[in-house]
Amino acid sequence: MKPLSDTQPHGHLALQPHERALIGMWLRLAKCYNLALRDVRASLRDACTLPQFDVLSQLKRSDERGLTFSELSRLLLVTAGNLTGIIDRLEEQGLVRRETNPEDRRETFIKLTEKGRDYATEIIPKHERDLVKIFSGLKPETVDHLRSGLADLRKHLDTHGRHGSDE
């Protein structure tokens, strides 16, 4: 791969301070995400995997008809193919079931079973308590700034990111 023409001898781009700050922001965001993810996974370890929790949580919030694979994949930002194994394991545990849409047999709804609803009702509050514990050391004004900044970042990425722009 040919180096970019504006790279410095040390291999980095010649960036303006704001551009360098953008890269630093990304690195901090990634580090914080990975640290928080480690703690969240540890808190769920005895209950289920994080992807399984995410599916159970989304299904708990859905109406009686459940959610289709495409709806779940959109909500969880994963491909429907990635969900197949997760749904298979939850189905083996008796926590979810697949139901064919009687009006369109090509469409399948994923629903919580009674056991799955009871299980989700048990683990969701525990997970929420664990999240509060993980982040409780932050000052309220820090939380407000983070929420606001992350909302701005998400809006920017939704409209200007690789998947949201025409570039």
The pLDDT confidence band at residue 5, using thresholds 50, 70 and 90, is: low
Written as one letter, the residue type at 132 is V
The number of residues making up the chain comes to: 167
d(CA 113, CA 106): 21
The 10 Å Cβ neighbour count of residue 54 is 18
> What is the per-residue pLDDT for 2?
46
The predicted model gives 74-103 an average pLDDT of: 92
Q: What is the pLDDT of residues 35-51, one digit of tens each?
A: 999 999 898 888 899 99
The 10 Å Cβ neighbour count of residue 52 is 19
pTM: 0.77
CATH of domain 36-134: 1.10.10.10
Domain assignments of the chain as residue spans, ordered by start: 36-134
